[in-house]
Structure 1
Amino acid sequence: MSDPHAHRPAVVDLLGLVAFGQLLAFDRLAADARLAPDLRRRAVLSEMAAAEIGTFRRLAGRLAALGVPPEEAMAPYVEPLQAYHDSTEPKDWLEAVTKAYVGDGISDDFLREIAGGLDEPDRRLVLDVLHESRYAEFAAAEFRAALQADPRAANRLSMWARRLVGEALSQAGRVAAADRGALTALVAQGGRVDAQELFGRLTAVHTERMTAVGLNN
């Protein structure tokens, strides 16, 4: 029996991946907000969660306009993305902030790379759903305050960040298998055929992001 997924446009696979990522991020941030040490920080993470569900609705609407039920487009990615989040549950506030800063940062960098292979309006849609810089700035301020109060926390958070990256790369392999090469095709369409070069760029940006907040890569 033929696999209908194999004959779908690559953009459907990408939008399905991004949409489920947004849905999971909403769940995660809403839960992590309870780890906040005060109401101000809890409100910031809750606002971030609300933004995720808002972008999910935009992606789901675009999939519906393309004639694809959103749940069908998301289905191949449920297991690998859920596995990543299940294996990286933060134990405290700073671990939750690190996960948002590191995990969302790598995800956004990757989406920026592959968006070049999309036609409009989907290229603009993917770029629009990337996280706002003010959330990264909030996380950076949290790190700096925490490290100023206790410099020893840098080692613990750096180790946690390395684990997050390792888990993300492991699950990326499962995502690649789930999408039957759709993302690879989009990378090629965007003029970025060399996968090693692509991941080299992602690693370089990740290293800069870690250094900027006083953490070791």
Structure 2
Amino acid sequence: MDDPEYRAGIIDLLGALAVGELTAFQRLAADAELAPTRADQAALAGMAVAEFHHFEQIRDRLTELGVALDDAMTPFHEPYVAFHANTAPSNWLEGLVKAYVGDQIATDFYREIAATVDDDTRALVNDVLAEAGHADFVVDRVRAAIDEDPSVAGRLALWGRRLVGEALAQAQRVAADRDALTAIIVGAPGRPGMDLAELGQVLSRLTENHAQRMAKLGLSS
């Protein structure tokens, strides 16, 4: 990484991911206490452990780059705090939908950015963003709850819309506030990035992926 601007962008990317993975671990561990059964508690605890292992991978890579973990993570702490403060689930089902829908919007966003980086960084990003067992578990529990009480669907659909709005707002905030991260996305001389049309397509894909996930849950988007 001879280009200082590119290096700063990669550090930003890894710092943002580190905050996301650590926060996901903490939240899933806390949400496990809301689970109605011991089996559900164990399932969420397992997901939390997977998220922490992902965090460790990023931490180790930052160490290899000679970057202090706190220095990389601190710029992204406030946006994540704001997102989670604005989307605190009030019950077990809202927590499940948030873990599946809300977090995956951020996952999609960072995967899109990873498409423009070097092979090693892309491989790490794709690895830590790999499915940690959320999907099948969440879909099964949410659909079962809707079958038992169809009125649940309307409330969770509204919740899902709130999640996507907050997640996209925070993603845009991060991109706008961090010039080095933005430089990775749009590129630089000798290092092509995305043009405006491609950026528009990214936002469209994020929205489409959200709609597909909501549909899998049996919810309208």
The answer (yes or no) to whether the contact 2:154–2:219 under 8 Å persists in 1 is yes
Q: 3-state DSSP class of the match of 2:219?
A: coil
Q: Within 2, Cα distance between the matches of 1:182 and 1:118?
A: 11
Q: Which amino acid aligns with 2:134?
A: Y
Q: Within 2, Cα distance between the matches of 1:179 and 1:155?
A: 37
Call closer, same or farther: CA 1:50–1:176 in 2, change over 3 Å. Answer: same
| Residues 73-112 of structure 1: pairs in structure 2 closer than 5 A | 73-112=72-111
| Residues 1-217 of structure 1: pairs in structure 2 closer than 5 A | 8-132=7-131, 134-183=133-182, 185-186=184-185, 188=187, 192-193=194-195, 194-217=198-221
Q: Which amino acid aligns with 2:66?
A: G
Most deviating of 170-179 and 39-48: 170-179
Call closer, same or farther: CA 1:37–1:187 in 2, change over 3 Å. Answer: farther
Q: Within 1, Cα distance between the matches of 2:33 and 2:50?
A: 17
Most deviating of 138-147 and 127-136: 127-136
The answer (yes or no) to whether the contact 2:143–2:218 under 8 Å persists in 1 is yes
The answer (yes or no) to whether the contact 1:33–1:42 under 8 Å persists in 2 is yes
Q: Which amino acid aligns with 1:206?
A: H
Q: Within 2, Cα distance between the matches of 1:142 and 1:190?
A: 43
1:187, distance to aligned residue in structure 2 (A): 5.5
Most deviating of 173-182 and 95-104: 173-182
1:190, distance to aligned residue in structure 2 (A): 7.1
The answer (yes or no) to whether the contact 1:15–1:59 under 8 Å persists in 2 is yes
Q: Within 2, Cα distance between the matches of 1:8 and 1:78?
A: 20
Q: Within 2, Cα distance between the matches of 1:208 and 1:173?
A: 22
1:196, distance to aligned residue in structure 2 (A): 1.6
Call closer, same or farther: CA 1:18–1:38 in 2, change over 3 Å. Answer: same
The answer (yes or no) to whether the contact 1:113–1:187 under 8 Å persists in 2 is no
Q: Which amino acid aligns with 2:53?
A: G
Give structure 1 stretches of 5+ with no counterpart. none
The answer (yes or no) to whether the contact 2:6–2:183 under 8 Å persists in 1 is no
Call closer, same or farther: CA 1:117–1:155 in 2, change over 3 Å. Answer: same
Q: Within 2, Cα distance between the matches of 1:21 and 1:202?
A: 17
The answer (yes or no) to whether the contact 2:214–2:220 under 8 Å persists in 1 is yes
Call closer, same or farther: CA 1:205–1:176 in 2, change over 3 Å. Answer: same
Q: Once superposed, which parts of structure 1, at least 4 consecutive aligned residues long, lie more than 2 Å away?
A: 5-9, 183-194
